[in-house]
Structure 1
Amino acid sequence: MRYLPMSLALGALRRGRGIEQLLGGFEEGGRRGVRYAVINPTGSGVFYVSCSAVEDTVELDRHGGLLYPSDDAFYPEDANREGARTMGTAPTPGEALELAERELGADPRWWVNLGMLGYEYRDFVERGRPLGPWQPS
């Protein structure tokens, strides 16, 4: 089971484990990119919601046979953070998920454990790198 039911997504965050979601592909200025959301808990009880926009290049990073999006930030101002922009913080896991849905268009059905994005990206590549919101099959 790749996707986390809401109860497991909330449980992962409560246990201090991050979750992530592939949001989809986009094109801007003749360049292609991919966006993904991450929710990271902190030891102080704050949950950071971030969105990364990275280049979607033919030269893919390979880690243990999995495909991952490039680490090259799409926007130059994000270069030091590998494309990540903090969208906000929340005091609870539920509010962090709501923030990601509201601000990033994250879908509550498609969260995966941190580190599983490679499987999502592999599926994205196999389906031809579609533009727009990612809809797993």
Structure 2
Amino acid sequence: MRYLPMSLALGALRRGRPIEQLLGGFAEAGRRGVRFVVITPIPAGVCYISCTTVEDTMELDRHGGLLYPSENAFYPGDADSEGARTVGTASTPEAAIELAERELNADPRWWVNLGMLGYEYRDYVARGRPLGPWQPS
């Protein structure tokens, strides 16, 4: 089972484990990119919600479906040089997931444990790199 039911997604965050989600593909100025969101809890009880945007190139395929933002940033001029931006923080796992849904159109059905995003990306490539929100089959 790759996708986390909401109870398991919340449980992972409560145990201090990040969760992530592939948001989908887009095209801009003749280039293709993909976005993904990560919710990272820290011991102080705060969850950070970040969105990373990487260029979708054959180079990503070479890494076996893993997304390396520092090497493939879509917007290399970002302050952190990784294409990631903090969307916000939340004081509870529920609020973090709500924020990701509201601000990034994350889908509550498609959360995965940290480290599983590579499998999502491989499925995305196998389906022809569709543009728009990612909808696993």
Structure 2 residue ranges without an equivalent (≥5): none
Q: Which has the higher strand share?
A: 1
1:2 maps to: 2
- 1:75 positional shift: 1.0
**Inter-partner Cα distance in structure 2 for 1:51 and 1:67:** 18
1:135 maps to: 135
**Inter-partner Cα distance in structure 1 for 2:118 and 2:79:** 21
- 1:47 positional shift: 0.2
2:60 maps to: 60
1:80 maps to: 80
Farther-moved stretch of structure 1 (107-116 vs 80-89): 80-89
Aligned-pair identity (%): 76
**Inter-partner Cα distance in structure 2 for 1:40 and 1:78:** 20
| CA RMSD in angstroms, aligned pairs only | 1.3
Equivalent residue of 1:23, what SS? strand
Over 3 Å counting, the alpha-carbon distance change for 1:128 and 1:54 in structure 2 is: same
Over 3 Å counting, the alpha-carbon distance change for 1:27 and 1:38 in structure 2 is: same
**Inter-partner Cα distance in structure 2 for 1:25 and 1:70:** 16
Structure 1 length-normalised TM: 0.93
Contact 1:37/1:51 (8 A) holds in 2: yes
**Inter-partner Cα distance in structure 2 for 1:112 and 1:47:** 16
1:48 maps to: 48
**Inter-partner Cα distance in structure 2 for 1:128 and 1:40:** 30
Q: Partner letter of residue 68 of structure 1?
A: L
Structure 1 residue ranges without an equivalent (≥5): none
Equivalent residue of 2:22, what SS? strand
1:23-77 CA distance string (max 9 Å, x none): 00000011100000000001111100010000000122555xx312342111123
Structure 2 length-normalised TM: 0.93
User: What does 1:26-37 align with in structure 2 at a 5 Å threshold?
Assistant: 26-37=26-37
**Inter-partner Cα distance in structure 2 for 1:78 and 1:38:** 17
Over 3 Å counting, the alpha-carbon distance change for 1:83 and 1:96 in structure 2 is: same
**Inter-partner Cα distance in structure 2 for 1:75 and 1:88:** 19
Equivalent residue of 1:60, what SS? helix
**Inter-partner Cα distance in structure 2 for 1:70 and 1:29:** 21
